[in-house]
Amino acid sequence: MTRIDGKKTVTFRNETHTMIELLKKKVNIAYLPERVVKQYAAIVKQDIPETKISLLDLLKIYPVNNAAQFEEVIGILEPITPRLYSISSSPNAHSGEVHITVARDNFKMNGEVKHGLASNYLADLAVEGPLEFYVHKNNQFRLPAEDKDVIMIGPGTGIAPFRSFIAERDATGASGRNWLFFGDQHFTTDFLYQTEIQNWIQTGVLTKVNVAFSRDQKSKIYVQHKMLENAKAFYEWLQNGAYVYICGAKEPMSVDVEYTMLQIIERFGSKTSAQAVEYLNQLKEEGRFLKDVY
Partner 1 sequence: MSTNDNKNLSSTEKIKMASDGLRGTLKESLRDEITGAIREDDTALVKFHGMYQQDDRDRREERSAKKLEWLYSYMLRLRLPGGFMTADQYIGLHNIAGDHSTGVIKITTRQTIQLHGILKSHVKPTIQAFNTILLDSISACGDVNRNVVCAAHPKFSPIHEEIFSYAGKISKLGLPKSKAYYEIWLDEKPLLDKKEKEEVEKDPLYQDRYLPRKFKVGIAIPPNNDVDVFTNDLGLIAIIENDKLIGFNIAAGGGLGATHGNAATYPRLASMLGFVRGEENTLKAVLEAITIQRDHGNRSDRKLSRLKYTIDKMGVEAFRAELEKRCGFKLEEPKPYSFTSRKDEYGWHKNHEGKWYYTVFIESGRIADEKVALKTALLEVAKTGKANFRFTSNQGLILSDIAQKDKKAVEKILTDFGIIEHTDKAGAVRKNAIACVAFNTCSLALAEAQRYLPSLITKIEPILAKYGLENDEISMRMTGCPNGCGRPYAAEIGFIGTAYGRYNLHLGGDREGFRLNKKYKENIDEPAILKELDELFEKYSKNRNSGETFGDFAVREKLVTI
- Least distance (Å) from partner 1 to the CB of residue 207? 13
- Least distance (Å) from partner 1 to the CB of residue 211? 5
| Nearest residue (CB) to partner 1, 184 versus 258 | 184
Q: Under the criterion CB under 8 A, does residue 187 sit at the interface with partner 1?
A: yes
Q: Under the criterion CB under 8 A, does residue 249 sit at the interface with partner 1?
A: no
Contact segment (CB under 8 A) with partner 1 among 19-27, 108-116, 207-215, 274-282 equals 207-215
- Least distance (Å) from partner 1 to the CB of residue 177? 17
Spatial CB neighbours of 130, under 8 Å, sequence gap ≥ 6: none
Which of 211, 240, 261, 209 has the alpha carbon at shortest distance from 144?
Answer: 240
Q: Under the criterion CB under 8 A, does residue 166 sit at the interface with partner 1?
A: no
| Nearest residue (CB) to partner 1, 191 versus 294 | 191
> What is the C-alpha separation between 201 and 143, in angstroms, rounded?
19
Q: Under the criterion CB under 8 A, does residue 191 sit at the interface with partner 1?
A: yes
| Nearest residue (CB) to partner 1, 85 versus 193 | 193
- Least distance (Å) from partner 1 to the CB of residue 206? 9
- Least distance (Å) from partner 1 to the CB of residue 196? 6
Could you give the C-alpha distances from 249 to 36, 128, 154, 196, in angstroms and in order?
27, 30, 9, 23
For the chain, the maximum distance between any two Cα atoms, rounded to a whole number of angstroms, is: 72
| Nearest residue (CB) to partner 1, 73 versus 192 | 192
Q: Under the criterion CB under 8 A, does residue 51 sit at the interface with partner 1?
A: no
Phi first, then psi: what are they for 204, rounded to 5°?
A: 100, -5
Residues that bind partner 1 (CB under 8 A): 187-189, 191-198, 201, 209-211, 216-217
